[in-house]
Amino acid sequence: MIFTSVALVQELMEKTHTQTGRHVFVQILDQVYETGRKVAAHFKKTMRIVFDEILPQWNYRAIPLSANGQVI
């Protein structure tokens, strides 16, 4: 499918649901973000970064760690 607008992508994403019937909520962020911005100093100490197996350069998850360094 060719995406012709952000509204179309949002509509398609909102149709997504799990097998148990949970639906997603989609919020489009249309701000312009500064490039080259450095991550906060404490971020790497308090988050575990897990990169996607298929597209690691584009997709990752930041998982919060507890005070003792364990995944919450």
pLDDT in tens, 29-43: 888 888 888 888 788
pLDDT in tens, 12-24: 999 998 899 888 8
pLDDT in tens, 22-72: 888 898 888 888 888 888 878 878 888 899 999 888 888 888 887 666 666
Is 70 a domain residue?
no
pLDDT of residue 67: 65
Domain count, the chain: 1
- Note the pTM of the prediction, 2 decimals: 0.44
Q: What is the 3-state secondary structure (H, E, C) of 12-64?
A: HHHCCECCCCCECCCCCCCCCCCCCCCCCCCHHHHEEEEECCCCCCCCEEEEE
Is 11 a domain residue?
yes
Is 69 a domain residue?
no
Question: If pLDDT is split at 50, 70 and 90, which confidence band does 5 have?
Answer: very high
